[in-house]
Structure 1
Amino acid sequence: MHYRISSGNPASRLIEVDFSLSNLSAPTVELQLPAWRPGRYELQNFAKNIQRFEIFDKTGKPLAFQKLTKDRWRVQTAGVSELVARYTYYSNVINAGSSYADDRLLYLNPVNFCLFTDDRLRETCTLELDIPDNWQIAGGLHQIAPKTLLASDFYELVDCPIIASPDLQHLHYEVDDTVFHVWINGNIKPDWERIQRDFSRFSETQIRLFGEFPEKDYHFLTLILPTAYYHGVEHRNSTMLVLGPNDEGEGLYTDLLGVSSHELFHAWNVIRIRPTELLPYDFTRENYFTTCFVAEGVTTYYGDLILRRANVFDDTAYFKEFQVLLKRHFEPSGRSFQSLIESSWDLWLDGYDKGVPNRKVSVYYKGAIAALILDLHIRRKWNHARSLDDVMRLMWERFGKPFIGYTLDDYRAVTEEVAGEPLDWYYERCIFGNEPLEPLLNEYLAFVALQLENDATDLTTTPAVFLVPLDDETGLENRYRWLGVHPEGGLNVKI
């Protein structure tokens, strides 16, 4: 399968695609466009962005075809050995899962616009970019010619976003045998010395947690916008980040660190430690699963914690982000009806919309709080000799490294093995249940000399929450053992 991508009129925001499929022998071929993309568990119906759609044989003769569904076409190919589907894709939105073209940027998420056939998903794919000679190409695909990229199969192709531009800024660093690339496109002058120091630290800390890195190289692909924005998406050996505004302030850099650490953790957790329901991806329909609280909640928990362990964040910076996480759960949805299991399943329904009040919870925020409770429970029982780190290492060794997929029962079995006891109470209260978590959370926060306070008069009132320290010397020692750093002074004020 070969794709040629161009944008003859960037002002139109149209990306022009020529998809060539050879070695045809059947009387018909069905072409499918993905209905969703990895990292966003909702149907996005990319076919709605196709403006013009035509199919020809290799001589340029039109072939008859019929649209079967919103994103599937049956082509009459009797006597034809090769076809070319020629179509335009409207790309007027920039986020971390979209595609976009202007006169100085070609930003591509191939999952948006690359057709496939069901029986050839494992074949190699080539992607050719019609771009000026002075443009650089950034992304995780192997470059086999100046403007041509190679993917081992369709799954790799659509899990590797691409930026092409004459304005790309680039840095690389190494940790063990892995080369990491930071690519930035936008009206900004990066502090490369600071980026190299901080990114090296959190990359090394994550690798030490798991013991190895899944890939030989990794790419942080970053678009900086003039307007406020915050979005990141994980991919096989890269992440796509869209941030703004481009004021070069400390807030922008903090956002860059937070989303980069989160997305790098996904290189293990969900890219390789993947729910069995997502292995392999079925791009034609919903892929329902119940463990997004592991995929996203555990990752959200570790994203900022890793930055503290790596001494990229100090106490003030870490607990500021921790406070934000707590507020994002307890203030809007601490009394919501759904459990984490139900909200994981219903991501495909409305998981990324605000939705009905007090219905769902965030698998990111409540999932992170549930991960924290589990981590502190294991640490308290084993005096820090075991922790959630051990859970994730076992998940990597048993499911991620062999890439075989895990079930909810698998995850529960590993957590109970590390805890050394049944965890019925944990799963009933935190994962399957919908009870307010403040009392349970405070039981475990006390172990690390912290407490969650709110200004609600009763459990029916929406609270404003505050994280406060406790005057407890033993708890303070436990806090630093949890954070994995040496004490640098206590947390003395409300955040």
Structure 2
Amino acid sequence: MHYHISVADPQSHFLLITYTIPGITTDFIEIQLPAWRPGRYELQNFAKNIQFVEAISATGDKLPIHKVTKDRWQVGTADQKEVKIRYSYHAVIQNAGSSYVDEELWYLNFVNFCMYTEGRITDPYEISLALPAGYQIACGLPSGGENILVAKDFYQLVDSPLLASQSLQKCEYNVRGVQFKIWMHGNLRPNWRRIERDFRRFSREQIAMMGDFPETEYHFLNLILPTAFYHGVEHQNSTMIVLGPDDEGEGLYSDLLGVSSHELFHTWNIIRIRPKELLPYDFTKENYFRTCFVAEGCTTYYGDLFLRRAGVFTDEGYVKELQVYMKRHFENSAHAAQSLAESSFDLWLDGYEKGIPDRKVSVYHKGALVAMILDLYLRKRTNHEQSLDDVMRLLWVRFGKPFIGYTIEDYISIVEEVAGETLEWYWKECIFTNEPLENRLNEALSFVGLQMSVFSNGNIQLNVMDDFRGKLQRDKWLTTSQVLSVQEEEEEE
């Protein structure tokens, strides 16, 4: 399979695409444009951005093509062994899951506009880009030559976003043999020394906790906008992050750290440790699953925890982030009718919209809070000998490495194996019903010398207690898990 992508008029924001399908042996083929993208569990109808589509033979003759669904076409092949599909796609949106082109930037999410041929989704792909002279490419796909990328199959292709421009900025670092690249596009002058130091720290911390890394290289792709923005999406060996405003202040840097640590942990949790219902992805319809509180909740919890363990955040900075999750949950959905499992399932319905009052909970915010409740319970019961770290490592070894997909029953089984007991109270109160979290949350927080107060006006405050025992347990909770020697650290740097 081959894609050729060009931009005739950058001001129009249209991509011109030719999709070449060789080796045809049937009287007709069907081609499918994805209805959604990995990392965003809602139907997105990318086909609405296609201006025209036509099918032609190798000799340039037009072939019959018609729609069979909103994003699927049938092509009469007329005994042709090779067919070309030509179409245009309007790429004018800048968020972490979209595509955008103008006079000085190509930002492409191939899942937005690349099609696959029914029955051939595992065929390899080659993508040639008609880029302007001097453009540099930032992408997790391997290179097949100048301005050419290759993908082993459609799944890899659409899980590999791309930035290309003359003005890309980059720094690199190595941790445990993994090559990391941080790319920036925008009106800013990054403090690369500070960025590299902090990114190295949390990358090392994550790899040390999980034992190894799924990839040999990883790309942080950053699009920095002049307006306020915060969005990140995980991918196979990269993440696409859109942030703003580009004032280079501490707020922007804190956002960069938080979203980058979160997205990096997704390389294990959801990219490889994936719910069985999502393996493989079915791009034609909803892929319902009830464990997004694991995929997003645990990742949200760990994203900031790794920054504290790595010494990037202080205790005060970490407590501040915890308070943010609490405020967002208790102020927005403390009295919601749905459980976490139900809201995970209903992401496909309205999970990314505000929705009607008191209906759903956030798999990110409540998911992070129940992950913390579980972590602190395991630590208290075992004097820190067991924790949520062990749960994540077992998920990685048993389901992520073999890439076989886990069920909600598998997650329950592993948690209770680590706990050494059944946890009916946890599943009932935190996951499968809408019971309030305040009591369980404060019970967990008291173990590490913290206390949450909910005021009558709805405000939330997280207090740090001065007792010695609480501080001792808090230090054990927030202590680094990385075991890299001083010599290894010096060699990496």
Judge same fold: TM > 0.5, yes or no. yes
SS at match of 2:328: helix
The equivalences for 1:190-339 within 5 A come to 190-339=190-339
Tell me how far 1:316 sits from its aligned partner: 1.9
Whichever residue aligns with residue 265 of structure 1, its letter is: F
Single out whichever of 143-152 and 317-326 deviates more from structure 2: 317-326
Check if 1:5 corresponds to 2:5.
yes
Match of 2:473 among 474, 478, 486: 478
Check if 1:391 corresponds to 2:386.
no
Tell me how far 1:78 sits from its aligned partner: 2.9
Please report the RMSD computed on the Cα atoms of aligned residues, expressed in angstroms: 0.9
Please give the TM-score of this superposition, normalised by the length of structure 2: 0.97
Whichever residue aligns with residue 109 of structure 1, its letter is: N
Whether the 8 Å contact between 2:449 and 2:474 is mirrored in structure 1 is yes
The equivalences for 1:85-484 within 5 A come to 85-456=85-456, 463-484=458-479
Whichever residue aligns with residue 470 of structure 2, its letter is: G
Structure 2 Cα separation of the partners of residues 265 and 118 of structure 1: 33
Structure 1 Cα separation of the partners of residues 331 and 466 of structure 2: 26
Whichever residue aligns with residue 211 of structure 2, its letter is: G
Structure 1 Cα separation of the partners of residues 269 and 229 of structure 2: 25
Displaced runs of 4 or more, over 3 A? none
Structure 2 Cα separation of the partners of residues 127 and 268 of structure 1: 27
The equivalences for 1:76-87 within 5 A come to 76-87=76-87
SS at match of 2:303: helix
Structure 2 Cα separation of the partners of residues 300 and 66 of structure 1: 44
Structure 2 Cα separation of the partners of residues 139 and 485 of structure 1: 31
Post-superposition CA distance 1:191-219 (Å, at most 9, x none): 00001100000000000010000000000
Whether the 8 Å contact between 2:205 and 2:480 is mirrored in structure 1 is no
Instruction: Show structure 2 runs of 5+ residues with no match.
Output: 482-493
Post-superposition CA distance 1:12-36 (Å, at most 9, x none): 1111111000010100000100000
Tell me how far 1:320 sits from its aligned partner: 1.4
SS at match of 1:358: coil
The equivalences for 1:6-45 within 5 A come to 6-45=6-45
SS at match of 2:119: helix
Structure 2 Cα separation of the partners of residues 210 and 185 of structure 1: 31
Whether the 8 Å contact between 1:21 and 1:82 is mirrored in structure 2 is yes
Whichever residue aligns with residue 467 of structure 2, its letter is: D
Whether the 8 Å contact between 1:25 and 1:78 is mirrored in structure 2 is no
**Other-structure match for 1:490:** none
SS at match of 1:205: helix
Post-superposition CA distance 1:103-136 (Å, at most 9, x none): 1000000000001012111111011110023100
Tell me how far 1:463 sits from its aligned partner: 1.7
SS at match of 2:410: helix
Structure 2 Cα separation of the partners of residues 254 and 470 of structure 1: 25
Structure 2 Cα separation of the partners of residues 280 and 432 of structure 1: 26
Whether the 8 Å contact between 1:304 and 1:318 is mirrored in structure 2 is yes
SS at match of 2:369: helix
Please give the TM-score of this superposition, normalised by the length of structure 1: 0.96
Structure 2 Cα separation of the partners of residues 405 and 180 of structure 1: 27
Structure 2 Cα separation of the partners of residues 48 and 28 of structure 1: 24
Whichever residue aligns with residue 468 of structure 2, its letter is: E
Check if 1:61 corresponds to 2:61.
yes
Whether the 8 Å contact between 1:124 and 1:152 is mirrored in structure 2 is yes
Structure 1 Cα separation of the partners of residues 425 and 170 of structure 2: 49
Whichever residue aligns with residue 477 of structure 1, its letter is: L
Structure 2 Cα separation of the partners of residues 356 and 446 of structure 1: 34
Structure 1 Cα separation of the partners of residues 172 and 154 of structure 2: 27
Structure 2 Cα separation of the partners of residues 78 and 364 of structure 1: 51
Single out whichever of 128-137 and 291-300 deviates more from structure 2: 128-137
**Other-structure match for 1:459:** none
SS at match of 2:107: strand
Query: How much identity, in percent, do the aligned residues show?
Result: 59
Instruction: Show structure 1 runs of 5+ residues with no match.
Output: 457-461, 487-495
Tell me how far 1:473 sits from its aligned partner: 1.1
Whether the 8 Å contact between 2:63 and 2:78 is mirrored in structure 1 is no
Single out whichever of 73-82 and 234-243 deviates more from structure 2: 73-82
SS at match of 1:448: coil
Tell me how far 1:485 sits from its aligned partner: 5.3
Structure 2 Cα separation of the partners of residues 19 and 391 of structure 1: 44
Whichever residue aligns with residue 260 of structure 2, its letter is: S
Structure 2 Cα separation of the partners of residues 370 and 318 of structure 1: 17
Give the length in aligned residue pairs. 481
Post-superposition CA distance 1:40-98 (Å, at most 9, x none): 00000100000111110111100001210000000001310111111110111100000
Structure 1 Cα separation of the partners of residues 321 and 152 of structure 2: 39
Structure 1 Cα separation of the partners of residues 262 and 248 of structure 2: 21
Structure 1 Cα separation of the partners of residues 84 and 351 of structure 2: 37
Whichever residue aligns with residue 160 of structure 2, its letter is: C
Structure 1 Cα separation of the partners of residues 196 and 92 of structure 2: 33
Single out whichever of 298-307 and 318-327 deviates more from structure 2: 318-327
Structure 1 Cα separation of the partners of residues 159 and 29 of structure 2: 24
SS at match of 1:271: coil
Post-superposition CA distance 1:443-470 (Å, at most 9, x none): 11000111110112xxxxx721110122
